Amino acid sequence: MKHLYLNLKRFDVPVEFGGVNRIAPVTDWGKYIVEHTQEGLKKYDPAEAEFVQYFPEAHILGAVAARCEHSPVQVGSQSVYRMNTAVGGNFGAFTTNRPASIVRAMGCTSTIIGHCEERNDKMGVLAEAGVTDTAAVNRLLNQEIRLAIQQGLTVLYCIGEKSEEQEQWQQVLGDQLKIGLDGVDPSKVVIAYEPIWSIGPGKTPAGKEYITKIARFVKEQTGGLDVVYGGGLKVDNAEMLASIDEIDGGLIALTRFQGEIGFYPEEYLEIIKTYLGK
């Protein structure tokens, strides 16, 4: 089974507000993306590939409602909160936060947890309180993963090392896996590897040999969990990533990096076609 994920980040923000959304009004954005991708994805055997699209919370209902009968598109959320509602317990005192229960109630089947941007945010908050222990971030993410799975969601768990952590990559990634997955049902988790040190303008992308090495390490540490490339699956690297036996898919974000930068459904489908070879 190949896993093709889409992290739509905050690509919903219109250009006039500093964003990259040129494809649809904000009110219709989630609906537009599902409607313009699900028909193209129907040609793939659901036993061979799954397609999950992670939306900002405001667009989940529109995306779910746009799914046609037997749609190959699964809708997911961008993480969940580390506490949840409970019968006889907290029934909704979560201002600004996203408990797993509402994510499930809105129709999501999956969530992405531990993306480098989420890790950076948590680390920044902790640093303001004088906490510099990265294990604290992994413990918080573990709470999110546990609650997501308890609510019936599958989890795409992101791990990765920064430039200053490269010499200790085994320790860094090993801790992210050991702590983050402590007490977690592994059958509900796929790992996304983000080579943070290689992501961004002017940086050298991770090569096939390095990605293969990391994927093998992750599989050894987790007892063979599926591993996808989380550093950005795109047309330029799709064939290379598809040639790595240890890689089980990828995480797509932007589809266009020059000119009118942004996410475009037709280019997303082209990336998938290139990766799957059909």
In whole angstroms, what is the distance from residue 63 CA to residue 78 CA?
14
Cα–Cα dist 250/253, whole Å = 10
Distances in Å between the alpha carbon of 223 and those of 144, 146, 219, 242?
21, 19, 6, 22
Q: Tell me: the pLDDT tens digits for 209-223? A: 999 999 999 999 999
Q: Of 190, 183, 118, which is closest to residue 153 (Cα–Cα)? A: 190
188 touches 149 (CB < 8 A): yes
Percent of the chain with pLDDT over 70: 100
What three-state secondary structure class fits 150?
A: helix
Residue among 69, 136, 72, 60 at smallest CA distance from 100: 60
Q: What would the two tokens of residue 57 be?
A: 């919370």
Q: What is the pLDDT of residues 235-271, one digit of tens each?
A: 999 999 999 999 999 999 999 999 999 999 999 999 9
pLDDT in the model for residue 22? 98
Instruction: Show Cβ contacts of residue 16 under 8 Å, excluding neighbours closer than 6 positions.
Output: none
For the segment 9-34, the average pLDDT, to the nearest whole number, is: 98
Write down the pLDDT at residue 156: 99
Structure confidence at residue 203 (pLDDT): 85
Catalytic residue list: 115, 194
Task: Answer yes or no: pTM beyond 0.95.
Answer: yes
User: CA nearest 143: which of 84, 189, 206, 85?
Assistant: 84
For the cut 90, the answer to whether the pLDDT of residue 278 exceeds it is no
pLDDT at 201: 79
Give the tens place of pLDDT for each residue, 163-209.
999 999 999 999 999 999 999 999 999 999 999 999 987 788 999 99
Q: 3-state SS string over 241-256? A: HHCCCCCCEEEECCCE
Contact call for residues 111 and 75 (beta carbons, < 8 A):
no
User: How does residue 34 score in pLDDT terms, banded at 50, 70 and 90?
Assistant: very high
Q: Using CB atoms within 10 A of its CB, is residue 10 exposed (0-12), middle (13-18) or buried (19+)?
A: exposed
Which residue in this structure is represented by tokens 């405001």? 58
Please compute the mean of the pLDDT values over residues 33-43 and round it to a whole number: 98
Q: Which CATH architecture has domain 2-276?
A: Alpha-Beta Barrel (3.20)
pLDDT at residue number 227: 98
Kindly report, residue by residue over 62-103, the tens digit of the pLDDT. 999 999 999 999 999 999 999 999 999 999 999 999 999 999
Q: Which residues contact 182 (CB under 8 A, 6 or more apart)?
A: 142
The interaxial angle of helices 235-242 and 265-276, nearest 10 deg, is 20
